[in-house]
Amino acid sequence: MSTDPVLSAASRVIPSFEYRRERWRNGLGWTREILRLPDSEDWQVRLSIAEIEQDAAFSAFPGIDRELVLLRGEGLRLRFADGALHTLMPPHDRLRFAGEAQLTGELIDGVTHDFNLMWRRDAVQAELLHRPLVGSMFFFTEPGVAWAIHLLAGQAEFEGEPLLAPLAAGDTAWLAAGERRRFALRGGGELLAIRVSAGGSST
């Protein structure tokens, strides 16, 4: 498999203070953008943290699939136009849904912060894992396969990777696709690990 040029964007650690705060597409809320690849309006992968301060309709993203994970707050009710209702409760409930879906987020008791994974379904596939970090955890990249690691709690560092800074809670690492290699993340805490692979799906 040849290396996907989008997923082979350089490996790096993105500290939380570098996240870009911007308005939602529909102007009804705020988000802190962690990463978009490529860094243009025509992105294929985007990570962000939505700050939901009031009940509001979600922006529509045609052609995009999404997964939302509750990070902070007492809960978020997702009410879909087709009648479906899902409630994200602490500590880290999550839901995957189509970006075209019409839905409203309703706060249960105050502001929530929500990790937002989005990917263009005709270009890439994404799998999100929620895991404890105890000791060492290994991530393998290869042509067409990259990883994003978001540290929910604790601290961690990549062994033998002097160009990758240690992670504190709230930071994110991008591990680029390319020649097959092993990244060893050592520490203690809790994380979200997102495996991103080239090749889309029509479903």
How does pLDDT run across 164-181, given as a tens digit for each residue? 999 999 999 999 999 999
CATH number at 37 reads 2.60.120.10
Per the CB < 8 A criterion, the answer to whether 150 and 190 are in contact is: no
Answer with the one of 59, 88, 120 that is the final residue of a domain.
120
Q: Give me the half-sphere count of Cα atoms (radius 13 Å) on the Cβ side of residue 186.
A: 5
Same domain, residue pair 52 and 145: no
- The pLDDT assigned to 1 comes to 46
Is 4 within a domain?
A: no
> Which of 94, 120, 146 finishes a domain?
120
Is 97 part of any domain? Answer: yes
Q: Is the pLDDT of residue 3 over 70?
A: no
Give percent above pLDDT 70 in the chain.
97
pTM greater than the 0.85 cutoff: yes
Residue 83 lies in a domain: yes
Tens-digit pLDDT profile for residues 141-159? 999 999 999 999 999 999 9
N residues, the chain: 203
- Tell me, yes or no, whether 93 and 133 share the same domain: no
Tokens 């790096």 appear where?
Answer: 12
Q: Is the dihedral of CA 2, 195, 95, 46 positive or negative?
A: negative
Residues 22 and 114 in one domain: yes
Count of structural domains, the chain: 2
Domain that holds residue 79: 18-120
Residue 73 in contact with residue 113, Cβ under 8 Å?
Answer: yes
